[in-house]
Amino acid sequence: MATKITYTQQGDYLLPDLKLPDQPKVEIGIWGKRHLRHLKNHHPIIYTNLLTSCKLTAYLADIDEEATEMFDRLVKQFTEQEGVNEQLKAENQMLWVQKMNNIRNRAMEFVNTELVYI
């Protein structure tokens, strides 16, 4: 089975026309997108290896799923530990919003340091 390689002229050079196989369309969430940006900026070799082996999409989807689960679990644990519940929400909405924002920010920071920016 012979494969015909085509080339494109770029100045004085002939470069092969390389194309990656089609990958399945998977929706990547915010955590996966952050990790992708981190890989591109700080780990270009890992990024290129994942891209050329057609494993990047699946890898990012896994990171995104794991990070989402970790974030949800941490928010639930922190709210239970600090007694942030619907009763507090009904009694003092501003305090509830302050505590929930604090909890979400802590959980987001933890997920970023443990999964996204490694």
Residue 53 belongs to some domain of the structure: yes
Q: List beta partners, residue 8.
A: 15
Do residues 5 and 36 touch, judged by C-beta distance below 8 A? no
Residue 18 belongs to some domain of the structure: no
Instruction: State how many domains the chain has.
Output: 1
Secondary structure (3-state) at 3: coil
Dist. CA 107–CA 31, nearest whole Å: 13
Residue 19 belongs to some domain of the structure: no
Name the CA radius of gyration of the chain, rounded.
Answer: 22
Residue 109 belongs to some domain of the structure: yes
Range of the domain at 37: 26-116
Residue 7 belongs to some domain of the structure: no
Residue 87 belongs to some domain of the structure: yes
Q: List beta partners, residue 16.
A: 7
Segment 5-62, tens digit of pLDDT: 888 999 999 888 877 777 778 889 999 999 999 999 999 999 999 998 989 999 999 9
* Strand (E) or helix (H) holding 95: helix 93-111
Segment 66-77, tens digit of pLDDT: 999 999 999 999
